[in-house]
Structure 1
Amino acid sequence: MNEKSLRILEFYKIRDLIKKYTATSASKDIIDKLKPYNSLYEVKEHLEETKEALELLMKKGSPPFEGAYDVRDGVARAEKGGILMPLQLLRIANIQRCARSFNNYISHREDEKGYRVLEDICVGIVPLKKLEDEIFMAIVSEEEIADRASTTLFNIRRILKEKTASVKDRVSSMVRGYSSYLQENLYTIRGDRYVLPVKSEYKAQVPGLVHDQSSSGATLFIEPMGLVNLNNEIKELILKEKAEIERILQELSEKIYENIDAVKGNTNIVYEMDFIFSKAKYANDISGICPAVNDNGIIDIVQGRHPLIDPLKVVSMDIYLGRDFTSLVVTGPNTGGKTVTLKTVGILEIMAMSGVLIPARENSTVSFFNEIFADIGDEQSIEQSLSTFSSHMNNIVKIIEKADSNCLVLFDELGAGTDPTEGAALAVAILETLRERSTKVVATTHYSELKAYALKTEGVENASVEFNVETLRPTYRLLIGIPGKSNAFEISKRLGLPDYVIDKARSGIASDSLEFEDLIQNLQGKTIKAAEDARKSEMLRLEAEKYKEKYEQKLSTLNLSRERAISEGKKEARKILSEAKEDADEILKNIRELEKMGYSSDARAELEKERKRLKEKIEKAEENTFNKEHSGHGLTNVSEGEEVYIPSLNMNGIVLSKPDNRDEVQIQAGIMKISVKIGDLRKNKPVKEDPKARKMRKRELKLNLKQVDSSIDLRGMDSEEAIYSVDKYLDDAYLGGLEAVTIIHGKGTGVLRNVITDMLKRHNHAKAYRLGDYGEGGSGVTVVELK
């Protein structure tokens, strides 16, 4: 991609904005090299990675970049076999831990959805936890090595501490002994040796080595002879400590050298992930979407917005190109938004081709181009000179030399800066040349000749920026299919120009031209409405298909979950019955042992009879549990809203739809929506429970109160899982007799809190609910009072 287009279309400003979201300077360097990719495959992969990162941000929150530093200098030094400083070692260990955490962040799924591109990148992460632990154990901070780094260092520091304490005691006693000769009654240190501040006139009274003197010369810092040996021993220990620290740093550096390939790989992956998530964070701020990408030259941007314009002021636009026409001629008044239209198309194309999500609506489409050329001038006045025209023509000449069917060309005020007649003819010739090459072109102009050229030429379409004559302001909306109408007469009239002047002006224009302008005005409203209705219908159709596919997948997942739950329930029931049989046999065996100790044969016969009865009862229960043919006759007809019984789930449900061609209806069973054949349904027969039995059951449930927790933690769950968990938990809490429970959802973005609040509004067991008070968890929890 040519640098001039990237500069003119302000892609470098987009890169600077993305850099604000990075955690490391190494990722900033990657962004500095970001340009449109060279193949359609690369574009799609890098868009997908940004999309996946954005989805992870929305579901799991910020990625684990804590401790991520730019350690390229340290890694390069280790790769050459050099000894690293404590700060470098710490940062390398931190970024290895960050890589390991990131691997867990990507691979831990909360649903069935995977993140193909990001997972493929993270496959290259090699955990180096042992190396991390060794570095963290040996180094306390950027400047301090831990005592536990080695046994030798521990012993040296222990002895050094003892020697230092001895020297301090000795020198303190000397201070008291020589107090009359000292400048001050204290000791100090010069060059790691303990000395006394002796008055210069008493030098001979304190025998020892002079290490320093004050600036005035009145004080000499003398090391008494009695301290020389102790100071020598301390100095020797300090040198040993330093040597041992160097040995430890060298050993850790060698271990990094031994794992240098894994260290470099993990580090580079963290940098790459930082780069990808920076793009995702930027996309989140501009409400970016992942567009469809093709290599057929088709552009269809729906409600695209220029990313550098204030989101509160920017006007979205729809622009399409490449299907019915390859060239688009945009006309309209000055300051109406023509240049912004060109820059919006160009920057959105470059962003998408660079793997950056674009600010537009879902279902937008961009194309992969080998080159994007832009001839956009900033001059917006009538003071254009020959030099300006020459400059534009030099640029256009280079464009024509290189442009082909795989290029997008953006012209601003094509042919301007020279005689209008010649300029218009030249502009038509340039557009025709590029059209014959199937080059995709968007050009702005003031020339009416180009409107006529677009009307009569196949593959060329008119467009205009809308202007509100009533308010004398542009609306900045792009209208494709309609040439811009000159509003000079209407604007002049509203500004107070007399009618007779305007009439004279009209008389100087050919009647054909006036009729042409009026025709444009008449067709404008109808065409706009028809085009908008058609595009909205298409968008709604695509969204409907997407929702259909989404809910079909959810239905399939629910059906699998139902079958799995039934299978597990049957397995559990078999296990319970088997245990019951074993218990019965064990009891009978014990009773037989007792019989040998004195029971009669009549008693044994009675026991056998009881055993047989117990066996028949268990077998009957087993038959009732696993018999597929449920009691009662299946229904032949149901109506929407009818409550029915589902034997396979042992629960009631509400009929949501009429029978389809397979005699299946959709049933709302709890939180599930399932499809069931009419013949597998039974009439709902509510059983009236005896009041005494109900009281007894409640009393038993209250006895089991301790078995139900008073709170549930939803942090880390997605919305669907949280709803399911809370629904089941409230059922258990209600049956357990709890009066109030706490739902822990965390503060975060507030998504879980809102989902739970919506659910509680209509939940049968919820009597009232509120956010937690101070000391209860605040807005991170919801307290529910049960009925």
Structure 2
Amino acid sequence: MIYPDNFENKIQFNEIRSLLKGYCLSQLGKDKVDDMAFTSDAERINTALSQTREFRRMQEEADDFPLQFFFDMRASIKRIRIDGTHLEENEIFDLRRSLETISGIVKFLNRSDDDGNYDHPTLHALTEDVVTFPELIRRIDQILDKYGKIKDTASPRLAEIRSQLRKAEGSVSRTLYNILHAAQSEGLVEKDATPTLRDGRLVVPVAPAMKRRIKGIVHDESSTGKTVFVEPTEVVEANNRIRELEADERREIIVILTEFSKLVRPHVDDIIYAYQLLAEIDFIRARAEFARLTSAIEPDVNAGPVVDWITARHPLLWLSLKKQDKPIVPLDIMLTSDRHILIISGPNAGGKSVCLKTVGLLQYMLQCGLSIPVSERSKVGVFEDIMIDIGDEQSIENDLSTYSSHLLNMKNMMRRAGEATLLLIDEFGTGTEPQIGGAMAEAVLNQFVKKHAWGVITTHYQNLKHYADSHDGIANGAMLYDRHEMRPLFQLAIGQPGSSFAIEIARKTGIPDEVIREASAIVGSDYIQSDKYLQDIVRDKCYWENKRQSVHQREKDLEKTIAKYEEEIKELAQKRKEILRQAKEQAQELLKESNRNIENTIREIRECQAEKEETKRLREELNAFKEDVSEIDTKSADDLIEKKMRQIMERKERREKRKKDKKENAGKPTTIGTKLPTPTASAEQQTFAVGDTVRMRGLTTVGTVESVQGKEAMVVFGDVRTKVKTSRLEHTVKKPESTQLATFAISRETRQTIDSHKLNFRQDLDVRGMRGDEALNAVQHFIDDAILVGMSRVRILHGKGNGILRQLIRQYLQSVPNVTSCKDEHVQFGGAGITVVDF
């Protein structure tokens, strides 16, 4: 139970709702935020927190979770329950995209490991009983194009109507252009005038003085009155036919939409239930984003009352101070079954009310399933009731004074409080004469203690501080104050009462010393002295608390430093092992390479009939190299490894040098005992016959001679037959079958590339806003791709403007052999701003 009715306003929870709604992607999530309510069911709270925790982890680990197209289609789907109703085009388009999102979410959340454990079990539970509709999506794809418009192929009747419509519009356009050109030649219409649409009919813009020179119907005039729009008589009937076809088109579209709605109608309930998944995901995402904004966590919630919070922060106050680049002082507060009520005292404007509201807001947020900004070491629980008394509730209508309103709240709290109740009371007992107010507050507090209620109470009354010291179940707490700098520290210290620092604050505000001395005399020296003792205790506690925190922080920093050095040492050892392993692998690879090179050298020496001493020397060097590599071990000393690697590299350099010298000596006269290569016939002396295996000079592709005609031969290379001059051919040995297969593979890759171009090619190119050279470059690539994929017609959008870009593009198009024509688009679809290219 929450008391009073305006509880959320008092703890600023409505502002939390507003922040959550700002993170929602659709009305689905916003409705969930409005429905969010306080609960004392710990299992339900833990489930909500687990959902947020899993979603936050999923956002960090995966980037393919579908979060687009969160459309609320519930009202539209409910509407078609009635026979004869249908969804509109835009509704079907939104339905298709949102159903696809639902399907993607279900598929993502159904992911599991090899043991069948789901990656996100709590979120996966939301997908139970959720039905996806791939058949409906496929049917929509047959009806709508990628822009959400009805396709021509949605039905045979629609295809026929649109075909007739295009023919009629083309006829009207041609007729209108003829009329326009004739009028321009007679000076009736401006040279740059073009046909335009008015009320769905094609018309000609004419100067008012010339409108009677063109027979037809005046449909409209411009806002300046300098132009009237005339529909020539010759196209009136054709335009009427177009309007009739458009009406037929609309009727056929309604038939198509109605037939589709019949397919959807049996699944209305399942679709509406599926949209609940979208709503839940939208709400969970908003909670996760809010948790990220406030650096909040999702703690494990105990079933009973627990308040053991470390570094708790008021989220709204923290966000406000963050904008001002100011720090927030976190709150540490703990209530136990032995000390379940905390009496907080301290100076005015010292943070008592903020502390109280922080406790109320965070506990309420937690029991609404939201993450809270506390340390991960905190412990939290649930309360069945939260009651609050903050602010002035005086009312003229109900004849309530400030004190009367507080007493009414106290009466309700005493009646309803129990062992699972959290009480939050600000300025307990104020609003009436202090002595009786303090006595009444003490009596009420005694009732709360007897009922074993939990609570946080702020007060200035000394008798309540003494009561807390002398009774079980209650603890004192103080909001700390720096007496030397005369400023509040906004820190809560539990264990000792706090001083109101009334004398010090009065002196700081400029109250005369005479008045302060008189007030001190009135209250009595004993009270002043006890307050000073209390201030000293608070000061000493603050000092030692700071010392303790400083020592604790230094210990944490020292532990981090030690852990950092240990980690670095471990990484260095691991890197050393890795470097040594890589060095050994490189050496072994070098050995293999050297072995291949030496074997090749030996073979060449044998072919050239060299002396055996050279072979013997090379083999000895190879064996020495093997021994050097085998001595390398990852456990060897670093200097030994360095020495061995240096020796290996020196040997490699010597081999490279010998290889280089051998190349340089290749052009010198051969010595005795060396076999001279057999000279090949020159290109002019070579003859070719049908069936010869040949290749083109400088290329590796092998072909077969199919026929020879004089100095030219027809050669088949793979699937390509080409005529080549015999001077460019040379005889070769036919390649193995593996090479032919490789050639086939390359050809297949080429075909796959062309198929890919066909799939991804778009018939429209938009170059509006580009510079001339940039647009021309884009058009060149576009036309090349169009020719490659075999398109018969494409469109280039360049806009009207001054016509420079249009002229530049068309000059290029006229130079392309494959282009048969380039002309303006139909006026209804863009006119002179678009060039239609035919191949």
TM range (shorter): 0.5 to 0.7
1:300 matches 2:302:
no
What is the CA-CA distance between 1:224 and the residue it aligns to? 4.4
Cα separation, 1, equivalents of 2:143 and 2:66: 24
Which residue does 2:154 correspond to in 1? 149
Q: Which residue identity lines up with residue 249 of structure 2 in the other structure?
A: E
1:245 matches 2:258:
no
What is the CA-CA distance between 1:180 and the residue it aligns to? 12
- Kept in 1: contact 2:393–2:406 (CA 8 A): no
- Kept in 1: contact 2:206–2:230 (CA 8 A): yes
CA deviations 1:643-686 (Å, max 9, x no partner) are: xx9xxxxx989xxxxxxxxxxxxxxxxxxxxxxxxxxxxxxx99
1:84 matches 2:87:
yes
Provide the secondary structure at the position in 2 that maps to 1:16: helix
- Kept in 2: contact 1:138–1:145 (CA 8 A): yes
Alignment of 1:27-46 (within 5 A): 27-46=29-48
Bigger mean CA offset, 66-75 vs 429-438: 66-75
Higher radius of gyration, 1 or 2: 2
1:394 maps to which of 405, 408, 411? 408
Alignment of 1:114-263 (within 5 A): 114-140=119-145, 144-170=149-175, 224=233, 228=237, 230-231=238-239, 233-263=241-271
Cα separation, 1, equivalents of 2:652 and 2:546: 64
What is the CA-CA distance between 1:39 and the residue it aligns to? 1.5
Provide the secondary structure at the position in 2 that maps to 1:294: coil
Q: Which residue identity lines up with residue 152 of structure 1 in the other structure?
A: R
Provide the secondary structure at the position in 2 that maps to 1:441: strand
Cα separation, 2, equivalents of 1:198 and 1:147: 36
CA deviations 1:315-362 (Å, max 9, x no partner) are: 111011133212111111111111111100000000000111111111
CA deviations 1:243-283 (Å, max 9, x no partner) are: 22112222332333243344223322111101111011011
1:101 matches 2:104:
yes
1:474 matches 2:482:
no
Cα separation, 1, equivalents of 2:480 and 2:206: 93
What is the CA-CA distance between 1:183 and the residue it aligns to? 7.9
2:54 maps to which of 52, 59, 67? 52
CA deviations 1:138-186 (Å, max 9, x no partner) are: 3247773222433432332223212322233345556789999998699
What is the CA-CA distance between 1:471 and the residue it aligns to? 1.1
Q: Which residue identity lines up with residue 105 of structure 2 in the other structure?
A: F
Which residue does 1:370 correspond to in 2? 384
2:332 maps to which of 318, 337, 351? 318
CA deviations 1:284-343 (Å, max 9, x no partner) are: 010001223223322111111111112434211101113321211111111111111110
What is the CA-CA distance between 1:536 and the residue it aligns to? 11
Q: Which residue identity lines up with residue 61 of structure 2 in the other structure?
A: K
Cα separation, 2, equivalents of 1:425 and 1:266: 60
Q: Relative to structure 1, is the Cα distance of residues 59 and 109 closer, same or farther in structure 2, using a 3 angstrom cutoff?
A: farther
What is the CA-CA distance between 1:530 and the residue it aligns to? 7.9
Q: Percent identity?
A: 29
Alignment of 1:585-664 (within 5 A): none
Q: Which residue identity lines up with residue 35 of structure 2 in the other structure?
A: K
CA deviations 1:492-526 (Å, max 9, x no partner) are: 56677788876665555566545644553454466
- Kept in 2: contact 1:167–1:227 (CA 8 A): no
Which residue does 1:731 correspond to in 2? none
Structure 2 regions of 5+ residues with no counterpart? Answer: 557-632, 655-839
2:470 maps to which of 451, 456, 462? 456
2:9 maps to which of 7, 10, 13? 7
Which residue does 1:733 correspond to in 2? none
- Kept in 1: contact 2:26–2:71 (CA 8 A): yes
How many residues are matched? Answer: 560
What is the CA-CA distance between 1:106 and the residue it aligns to? 3.7
Alignment of 1:566-577 (within 5 A): none
Q: Which residue identity lines up with residue 77 of structure 1 in the other structure?
A: R
What is the CA-CA distance between 1:26 and the residue it aligns to? 2.1
What is the CA-CA distance between 1:413 and the residue it aligns to? 0.6
CA deviations 1:445-489 (Å, max 9, x no partner) are: 111010001010110111111111111111111111110124234
- Kept in 1: contact 2:78–2:268 (CA 8 A): no
Alignment of 1:623-772 (within 5 A): none
- Kept in 1: contact 2:110–2:118 (CA 8 A): no
Which residue does 2:24 correspond to in 1? 22
Which residue does 2:597 correspond to in 1? none
1:406 matches 2:420:
yes
Structure 1 regions of 5+ residues with no counterpart? Answer: 543-644, 646-650, 654-684, 700-787
CA deviations 1:593-644 (Å, max 9, x no partner) are: xxxxxxxxxxxxxxxxxxxxxxxxxxxxxxxxxxxxxxxxxxxxxxxxxxxx
Cα separation, 2, equivalents of 1:139 and 1:149: 8
Cα separation, 2, equivalents of 1:495 and 1:695: 86
Provide the secondary structure at the position in 2 that maps to 1:248: helix
Q: Relative to structure 1, is the Cα distance of residues 240 and 509 closer, same or farther in structure 2, using a 3 angstrom cutoff?
A: closer
What's the C-alpha RMSD, in Å, of the aligned pairs?
4.8
Q: Relative to structure 1, is the Cα distance of residues 482 and 698 closer, same or farther in structure 2, using a 3 angstrom cutoff?
A: farther
Which residue does 2:299 correspond to in 1? 291
Cα separation, 2, equivalents of 1:520 and 1:198: 96
Cα separation, 2, equivalents of 1:219 and 1:27: 52
Q: Which residue identity lines up with residue 16 of structure 2 in the other structure?
A: I
What is the CA-CA distance between 1:407 and the residue it aligns to? 1.3
Q: Relative to structure 1, is the Cα distance of residues 512 and 133 closer, same or farther in structure 2, using a 3 angstrom cutoff?
A: same
Which residue does 2:346 correspond to in 1? 332
